Each structure stands twice: as C-alpha cells, then as structure tokens.
Structure 1
Amino acid sequence: MSVFSRLSITMSRYPTLTASTQAGLIMCSGDLISQKFVEKKQTNEIDLIRTVRFGLVGFILVGPVLRTWYGFLERRVVMKTPALSAVAKMATDQLILAPTFIFNFMGLMGVLNGQTFSEIQTDIKNNYVDIMLKNYQLWPAAQMINFWLIPLRHRVLFAQSVALFWNTYLSFKTNNKSFKGKESDVPQISLAL
C-alpha cells in the first residue's frame, strides 16, 4: 500500500486528528525555517520551545478550525458552477475567516509568548495590517486552487502545504521581539505562488 493510500485511509477515519497533526507539523516546520533561514540563527540557537508552541497552535487551533470551516463552506456556499462556487468560497474565506482568524492567532501567540495584554495590543496595532496585506497577496489565489481543484478531504493538507511559506512569515512576525512593524525591516519572504 502506498503512502498516499495510507494517508487517504487515515484522513477518512480520523479527519480532525489528521488535519490537526498536519497543521501542527507544518507550522513547526515553518517556525524552524523562520529561525534558521530568515532570522539566520545557528542550529544551537534555535528555540525549540518556540517551535513547539507554534506547532501546538497548529494542532489545537489551525487544523480543527480549517477542517470545520472548509466543511461549512462546502455545505453552505454552493453556486451553479464549480468556478462560481470556488470564487464564492474564496471570497467568504478571505472576507470572514482570514481577518478574524489572524487577529485571534496574533492574540493567542502573544499569550503563548508571555506578552502582557498591552504588548499584545501593541503587536496587533503594529503588525495586523501588514500581515493582512501579505495574506491577500498569497491566499486568494491559493484558495481558488483549493476550492476549485482540491477534494474536500485534502483541502486542509493543501492549505497547510502552501502555508509552509506563510507560517515562516507568521513565525517571524509573531516571534521577533525586535521587529517594530516596519515592513522594510522584514527579510524578504516571497509569498507568491
């Protein structure tokens, strides 16, 4: 039996656990890439606790939320053609989920990073708009592919595969205490597909 066949069986039997595990592992990977290649840390300087925290957010928040959200969109956002359905799902995703999810994600990361309420507010004030602008450079196109071409049971995996680059960016933005919100100070991370 191939790896893909095993993955498909596991996804069918344990869809939420599979989505959570995928999201957690991919978010860990994004954080490690951020630390090693964006922040240019030496291997012995990598903060594994930070990586585990970032992955835990993927496991307990990102995976379950995306699985539930994609199921909701599949049931509730139905149009006459697959292309129109994909556009409607992408628009709903980007206008409703993305802004609220990123806001909550930033708050949760602040809590997990030990920030005070005031520090979290400042971080959101300094970085939220920049993160949303980057989101809109990447996710509308990725979600069009996801909603139009990818079967429902593989959508979280597809999104998290694209999110490897996104998670690298988010890890940098939510963990770099020296960053004060000036986009020109961020090492260039290409989010283009």
Structure 2
Amino acid sequence: MAVFSRIARRLKGSPVFIASLQAGGLMCLGDGISQTLVEKKDKFDLNRNIRFGMLGLCIIGPTLRTWYGILDRRISIKASKLGTAVAKMGVDQGIFAPIFLANFLGINSLMQGNSLNQMKNDITKNFTDVVISNYKLWPAVQLISFSVVPLQYRVLFVQTVAVFWNTYLSWKTNSEGIVDPEILPA
C-alpha cells in the first residue's frame, strides 16, 4: 500500500511530467506491438519507435493532462455525476478528438521527414479512418474515465487503454495497410 501512496503523491506533485512519461512509454509499447505482432517486421525500426515515444512524451502526455484539467475545471453539472461525465465526453469527442487527431497525423508525418505537401496528403488519406475508429472506442472509454477515474490517474488510465489504440495508429500511419491475416478476428 505504501507504494501506491508514493505513486499518488508523485502524480499530484508533477502531474504533467508524470503524464508525459506514461504517455511516452505506452506510445513506445503500442508501436512495438504494431511492429512485432501486427506488421511482423523482420527488423525493428528503433527510430520509428523513438519517434512515437517522443510524440507521447512531448505532445500527447502534456496535452491530455492539460485538457483533462480544463474539462474538470470548466464542466460540472451539479445535478448528476453521470451528466457531467457525458458532457465532458461530448466536448472531448466532439471538439477535441478531431482536432487532436489531425494534429497527431500532421506532426507524425513531419517527424517522418515528410514535406508539408506530403503531410497534407497523409492527413487527407488517414483522417477519416482514424476518426471513425476513434469513435468506436473512445466515447465509452472516456465515459468511464470522466465518471470514475480521478484526474491524477486519468492519463494513465487512458494511455493504458491506448496501448491498443497506439498499436492501431502506428500501423495506420507507418504501413501500407498490410496486416497479417492470422491476427484478424474470424
């Protein structure tokens, strides 16, 4: 129990830093799963893995922690905890998610060394599929997150679920869409 108390104190003392570390590590994990289990690459692309980790560390972790803090301060429905969670999820998924995903796709493309024209093409090519996939997973996850997960644990909770999402994003943004048929559901 003492370990969890220390973790809780650390999360409260440096929330953005801790969220950044969590997101960076879990983004690396998602890309690693994509490369080894989904794409079954012969050679692990360490640069790609580091790039994905840096996205989590420098952009995703701080952005999500800041965003969740804003939602907690700005959206509260006194009548209902569930109503507050639904309102937060609606704003998160209706406004934040599409903007965040477009930015993710663009930054990832630039980090791959692509030109601004190629970045625009990458966003155009992947945005619709990524947003549709987002809406199949994240509204339910965010309802749980906003209704029962305390703010200091929210990025960790979301990024733990996001290991699977990060695997998908890594595959979607780094491959030609070829996947081993053995891993697909029957």
Task: Provide the TM-score with structure 1 as the length reference.
Answer: 0.90
The answer to whether the 8 Å contact 2:39/2:179 transfers is no
1:124 CA displacement: 1.2
SS of the residue aligned with 2:64? helix
Question: Counterpart of 1:56?
Answer: 54
CA distance in 2, matches of 1:82, 1:135: 24
CA distance in 2, matches of 1:125, 1:107: 10
> Counterparts of 1:29-40 in structure 2 under 5 Å?
29-40=29-40
SS of the residue aligned with 2:128? helix
1:20-79: per-residue Cα shift (whole Å, max 9, x none)?
00000000000000000010123xx00111101100010111111111100100011111
Question: Counterpart of 1:8?
Answer: 8
Query: Which 4+ runs in 1 deviate beyond 6 A?
Result: none
Where does structure 2 lack aligned partners over 5 or more consecutive residues?
Answer: none
SS of the residue aligned with 1:130? helix
The answer to whether the 8 Å contact 2:40/2:180 transfers is no
Q: 1:102 aligned to 2:109?
A: no
1:120 CA displacement: 1.3
> Counterparts of 1:1-193 in structure 2 under 5 Å?
2-42=2-42, 45-79=43-77, 80-176=79-175, 178-179=176-177
Task: Provide the TM-score with structure 2 as the length reference.
Answer: 0.93
1:58-110: per-residue Cα shift (whole Å, max 9, x none)?
01111111111001000111112100000000000001110000000000000
Aligned residues: 182
Where does structure 1 lack aligned partners over 5 or more consecutive residues?
Answer: 180-184
1:5 CA displacement: 2.4
